[in-house]
Amino acid sequence: MVFVYGTLKRGFPNHSLLVASATPFVGAASTAGPASLIIGPYSVPFLLPTPASASSGRVVSGELYAEALWRRCGGEEAEIGEYTVDHAGEYVPKSERLADAAGLIDAIHRFVATATDNRRRAHGLLP
């Protein structure tokens, strides 16, 4: 299963990519808890779980599809770029920023660096 929460959803500009690939729609869904939307330097958005101690983040609505899109996007070969405090300042709404932007960047780096295959599978990033 893959959770989509942006322009891949029905009624949005990139949904035609899912239609063209015959990816089966499963249903509407939302994240189990609050998440923070991060948009990287190449305009690729992703969600990070919001720590329980933070007051930022929101439950995100989206859709479920029965397809391993991660494989279609290059799987393990997909690049994860470096994110800076400048990126966080530009892409994270002021209302959702942590008091220390460097703390947010550190959280992103820790999440990416410690993601095991099991964790990636749990997030639909691996088959």
Three-point CA angle 39, 45, 50, nearest 5°: 80
Q: What is the pLDDT, as a whole number, of residue 48?
A: 79
Residue 24 inside a domain? The answer is yes
| CATH number for position 28 | 3.10.490
Instruction: Specify the residue for token string 């249903």.
Output: 27
Into how many domains does the chain fold? 1
C-alpha 32/C-alpha 19 separation (Å) is: 26
Which two three-digit tokens encode residue 42? Answer: 């190449």
Residue 61: how many other CB atoms lie within 10 Å: 11
The pLDDT tens digits of the residues spanning 111-121 come to 555 555 555 55
Judged by average pLDDT, the poorest of 30-39, 55-64, 98-107 is: 98-107
Dihedral of the alpha carbons of 102, 43, 76, 27, in degrees to the nearest 10:
110
Q: What is the pLDDT, as a whole number, of residue 100?
A: 53
Residue 34 inside a domain? The answer is yes
Residue 13 inside a domain? The answer is yes
Residue 6 belongs to domain spanning: 2-122
C-alpha 10/C-alpha 15 separation (Å) is: 6
Element (H, E) at 107: helix 101-113
Residue 127 inside a domain? The answer is no
Q: How many CA atoms lie within 13 A of 48 on its CB side?
A: 22
Query: What are the DSSP E strand ranges found in the chain?
Result: 2-4, 25-30, 35-39, 45-49, 61-65
Residue 39 inside a domain? The answer is yes
Q: What is the pLDDT, as a whole number, of residue 37?
A: 79
- Prediction pTM value: 0.49
Residue 56 inside a domain? The answer is yes
C-alpha 82/C-alpha 21 separation (Å) is: 30
The pLDDT of residue 71 is above 60:
no
